[in-house]
């Protein structure tokens, strides 16, 4: 093979490798943005979508709970720092001072919530409940500032329960980000995998608690 032929072959192999890497990256991104959710669920309109009608990034994740909507809802409505926690990796969250302690029981005094209430992620960081329809959905909104710099995005977090046959529930959690600054994606995209890891544990944490409570009833 001539030198020019070898160069062409090398360039061709490099191009194929790059295309494969891009395709793999897209596949991984689709997976972590849509973990557990069907294609129809990812496309569906959910409560809270109208709060940020133009979102730059959307993640929809889901899990089936072998417990009724009524049995699952108490675990959702009591969520937040200073309340029931987030049912995820408390130790990791507490490394950054979140002071989160996920509850393993339904606490009656945490069952009341209203639009306008705080939903705390950290003692100094709170989202706001913007839509609430027990026992079907709760939507919170806000952003996490960086030091004294306000969050460069607006954010909604929707927790939606749908009934399924056989006293089961489908829990869908949707994140929507609307960028307020041209560089907002540089903040949001890199934490996408972290959000996936924590959200997956949260979904499974709710599932485990609701199903365990049903088993104890």
pLDDT one-digit tens code per residue, 107-136: 999 999 999 999 999 999 999 999 999 999
The whole-number pLDDT of residue 87 equals 98
User: How would residue 102 be classed by pLDDT, with cut points 50, 70 and 90?
Assistant: very high
Identify the residue with better confidence: 192 or 92: 92
CA-closest candidate to residue 152, choices 112, 105, 186, 118: 186
| Res 8: pLDDT | 44
Strand 168-179 and strand 153-164: pairing? antiparallel
CA 117 to chain centroid = 20
- Which domains, from first to last, does the chain contain? 34-216 (3.30.530.20)
Quote the tokens at residue 23.
Answer: 């395709």
pTM of the model: 0.85
Residues 6+ apart with CB under 8 A from 162: 69, 136, 169, 170, 172
Torsion of CA 210, 102, 31, 127, to 10 degrees: 110
| Averaged pLDDT, 155-160 | 98
pLDDT of residue 4: 53
Average pLDDT over residues 8-25: 37
Cα separation, 22 vs 20, in Å, equals 5
The pLDDT tens digits of the residues spanning 28-40 come to: 777 889 999 999 9
Query: What are the pLDDT digits (tens) for 67-101?
Result: 999 999 999 999 999 999 999 999 999 999 999 99
Mean pLDDT across the stretch 192-212? Answer: 95
């Amino acid at each position: 093979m001539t030198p020019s032929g070898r160069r062409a072959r090398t360039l061709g192999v490099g191009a194929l490798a790059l295309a494969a890497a891009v395709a793999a990256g897209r596949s991984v991104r689709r997976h972590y943005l849509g973990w557990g959710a069907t294609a129809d669920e990812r496309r569906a309109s959910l409560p809270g979508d109208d709060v940020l009608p133009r979102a730059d990034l959307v993640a929809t994740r889901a899990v089936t709970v072998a417990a009724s909507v009524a049995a699952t809802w108490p675990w959702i409505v009591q969520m937040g720092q200073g309340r029931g926690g987030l049912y995820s990796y408390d130790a990791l969250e507490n490394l950054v001072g979140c002071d989160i302690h996920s509850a393993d029981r339904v606490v009656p005094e945490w069952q009341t919530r209203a639009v306008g209430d705080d939903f705390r992620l950290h003692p100094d960081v709170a989202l706001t409940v913007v839509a609430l329809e027990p026992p079907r959905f709760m939507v919170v909104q806000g952003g996490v500032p960086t030091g004294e710099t306000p969050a460069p995005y607006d954010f909604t977090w929707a927790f939606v329960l749908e009934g399924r046959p056989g006293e089961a529930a489908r829990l869908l959690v949707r994140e929507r980000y609307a960028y307020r600054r041209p560089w907002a994606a540089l903040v949001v995209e890199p934490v996408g995998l972290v959000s996936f890891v924590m959200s997956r544990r949260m979904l499974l944490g709710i599932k485990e608690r609701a199903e365990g409570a049903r088993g104890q009833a």
